[in-house]
Homo-oligomer: A and B are copies of this chain.
Amino acid sequence: MVGGGSGSFIGAVHRNAAWIDGAFELTAGAFSSNPERSKTSGAELGIAPERVYSSYREMIEIESQMDPEERIHAVAIVTPNHVHFEPAMMALEHGFHVIIDKPIAFDVDEAVKLRDKVNETGNILGLTHTYTGYPMIKEARHRIAAGEIGALRKIFVEYPQGWLSTFLEKDGHKQASWRTDPSRSGAGGSVGDIGTHAANLAEYLSGLMITEICAELNIVVDGRLLDDDASALLHFENGVTGVLIATQVAAGVENNLSIRVYGEHGGFEWSHTDPNTLIHRRNEGPDQILRAGTEYLCEDAQRATRLPAGHPEGYIEAFANIYLEIARAIRDHEEMGYKDGEYDFPGAEDGVRGMAFVQTMIESARSKEKWTPFQLP
Contact = CB atoms under 8 A, between A and B. Distances in A.
Given A262-B252, A285-B296, A311 B315 contact: yes
Taken together, the copies of this chain in the complex come to 4
Interface in A309-366: 309-317
Nearest to A288: B286
Nearest to A163: B308
A252 B267 contact: yes
A13 B272 CA distance: 23
Interface in A247-262: 247, 249-256, 260, 262
Given A162-B262, A241-B229, A286 B281 contact: no
A161 B313 CA distance: 18
Contact of A165 (B251, B254, B264, B310): B264
Contacts of A367: 370
Contact of A286 (B21, B243, B260, B291): B291
Contacts of A153: 220, 229, 249, 251
Interface in A134-167: 149, 153-154, 156, 158, 160-163, 165-166
Contact of A166 (B166, B243, B283): B283
A222 B270 CA distance: 28
A209 interface: no
Contacts of A5: none
Kindly state the interface size class of chain A when it binds its partner: 35 or more
A308 B249 contact: no
Given A262-B252, A286-B296, A216 B241 contact: yes
A264 B162 CA distance: 10
B283 A251 contact: yes
A162 B233 CA distance: 20
A241 B231 contact: yes
Contacts of A58: none
Given A262-B162, A275-B312, A251 B267 contact: yes
A9 B220 CA distance: 43
Nearest to A294: B286
A154 B291 contact: no
Contacts of A15: 22
A45 interface: yes
Contacts of A21: 16, 19
Nearest to A295: B284
Contact of A283 (B162, B262, B306): B162
A289 interface: yes
A220 to B, nearest CB: 5
B22 A46 contact: yes
A307 B316 contact: yes
A114 to B, nearest CB: 27
Given A16-B20, A22-B26, A313-B314, 5 more contacts: A153-B220, A214-B370, A251-B266, A286-B290, A368-B371
21 contacts: A9-B308, A12-B306, A22-B45, A154-B249, A156-B160, A218-B241, A229-B241, A231-B241, A251-B267, A252-B281, A273-B310, A273-B312, A274-B274, A275-B312, A289-B289, A316-B316, A316-B317, A368-B370, A368-B371, A369-B369, A370-B370
A-B CB proximity, top 8 nearest: A252-B281, A254-B310, A255-B310, A312-B314, A286-B288, A311-B315, A20-B20, A314-B314
